[in-house]
Amino acid sequence: MYQTGLMIGHFEPLHLGQMRSILDAAGHVQTLHIVITAHPSPHPDFNITLQDKARWLQMACADLPFIQIHTSDEVDLPFHERFAKVTIDVPASDAKLQRMMATLNLPNDTVLVVADNHPLAYDAAQNQLTMSVLTTALHPEFDSDAIMQNPVAHWTAIHPEARGDYTKTVAIVGGESSGKTTLVHKLANYYGATFALEMGRLYVGSDLGGTEVGLQYSDYGPIALDHAQAIREATAMATAPVTIVDTDFVTTQAFCEEYEGRTHPFVAASIDEFRTDHTIMLDNNVPWVADGMRSLGTPDARGRFEQRLLDIFSRHNIKPHLIDAPDYDTRYKEALLYIDQHIYGKKP
């Protein structure tokens, strides 16, 4: 048993193989220090920060007090895993490790933790390295480079704490009685995805007694807050590379402008701050179905509200994907096609 261990990695994304190596190393040291660094070639479709990666590991190791998490802007360090395209300059790595140990105030007998196939695990390299080396077993079923390059294809390998940053949100929007909620449930079932429901409708039930008679301008801020929280919870618990969202903040703003005659600044800020990755807009050209809460059922009202949505989208530089098929099954199939192409990378 060693006193202190040091493991360095990109962890982009954090996956189950890496966690198994962390647990393996933690069984041989009293305290394991993990240093997270930026990836030299991050995936262009995901904006992952050092803080994101620190949060994943902090949450994953929250009940393991013998593991301590750090971040570093240094990219040229001897990482835990071997990378085929990386050449290890042992003397330079040794000097950087010594500086890092001083920064972290680690004892001189700290051991460096690397994978079994790492160049620094070989005797020749160890002779040039000041630190002792501890190796962890390989997990060949988890290819870090392949997972980083195509996280969608390797979704089940990603650690649950990291999946929320690798799921893409798709908002289904449209006017009243355009089939949004039914489509949300169909898509969620098809992909095995989590989803966020329309908060305006739930708010009317929970805070207004089930009708919109008491709805007023001051309610739109709380509705937006509830919606942001619902999306946050759905992505945090993501079960698929896509998370489905029933309506969006643009729709909330459209209802505010329709009923109150003015724009709500907090909802406007929410549109920009919490925007979804993709927006599918359903045309208002399917039959109107009254459900006791809908009030924009005339052709003029439906057309006016749809144009209002388009105006707000334009105002916030959002380009929704319009589905104007007049029947529900075709809409469903077109939505599947869009998600398959834009999130799962399938060719048409």
pLDDT at residue 296 greater than cutoff 80: no
287 pLDDT tier (thresholds 50, 70, 90) = low
- Which of 104-108, 157-161, 213-217, 260-264 shows the lowest mean pLDDT across its residues? 213-217
CB 35 within 8 A of CB 6: yes
What single-letter DSSP state applies at residue 214?
A: G
Minimal CA–CA distance to 248: which of 331, 173, 302, 308?
173
Global confidence as pTM = 0.91
C-alpha–C-alpha distance, residues 88 and 228, integer Å: 45
Q: Spell out the long-range contacts of 328-331 with Cβ–Cβ below 8 A and sequence spacing 24 or more.
A: 328/179, 328/182, 328/183, 328/286, 331/179, 331/183, 331/282
Residue 289 pLDDT class (50, 70, 90 cuts): low
- Residue 11 — φ and ψ, nearest 5°? 50, 50
What's the confidence (pLDDT) of residue 124? 46
Question: How many other CB atoms sit within 10 Å of the CB of residue 76?
Answer: 13
> What percentage of residues in the chain have a pLDDT greater than 70?
93
State residue 335's pLDDT score: 98
- CA-based angle 169:15:49, to the nearest 5? 60
**Per-residue pLDDT tens digits for 26-60:** 999 999 999 999 988 899 999 999 999 999 999 99
pLDDT of residue 102 exceeding 60, the answer is yes
- Mean pLDDT (whole number) for 305-322: 96
259-275 burial code (b ≥16 CB/10 A, e <16): eeeeebeebbebbeeeb
User: CB–CB of 164/238 below 8 Å?
Assistant: yes
How far apart, in whole angstroms, are the C-alpha atoms of residue 150 and residue 5? Answer: 31
263 vs 257: CA distance, rounded Å: 6
* Chain segment 189-239, per-residue pLDDT in tens: 999 999 999 988 888 888 888 878 889 999 999 999 999 999 999 999 999
Q: Pull the structure tokens for residue 5.
A: 């261990």
| Token representation of residue 277 | 């990755």
Domains, in order of start, for the chain: 2-154 (3.40.50.620), 167-342 (3.40.50.300)
Cβ(124)–Cβ(6) under 8 Å? no
Q: What is the average pLDDT across 256-279?
A: 96
Place of tokens 């933690």: 26
Q: How many CB atoms lie within 10 A of CB 127?
A: 8
Q: What is the pLDDT of residue 295?
A: 61
What is the residue-averaged pLDDT of the chain? 91
Which whole number is the average pLDDT over 306-324? 96
Q: Which of 285, 282, 288 is nearest to 323 (CA)?
A: 282
Which band of pLDDT confidence, cut at 50, 70 and 90, is reported for residue 121?
confident
C-alpha span between 185 and 250 (Å, rounded): 21
User: Tell me: the pLDDT tens digits for 154-186?
Assistant: 999 999 999 999 999 999 999 877 889 999 999
**Residue-level pLDDT at 264:** 98
Question: What is the structure's pLDDT at 95?
Answer: 87
How many whole angstroms separate alpha carbon 305 and alpha carbon 311? 10
For residue 200 the two structure tokens come to 């305006």
Query: What angle do the packed helices 265-273 and 220-236 form, to 10 degrees?
Result: 20
- pLDDT at residue 297 in the model: 53
**H/E stretch holding 324:** none
Cβ contact 133:199 at 8 Å: no
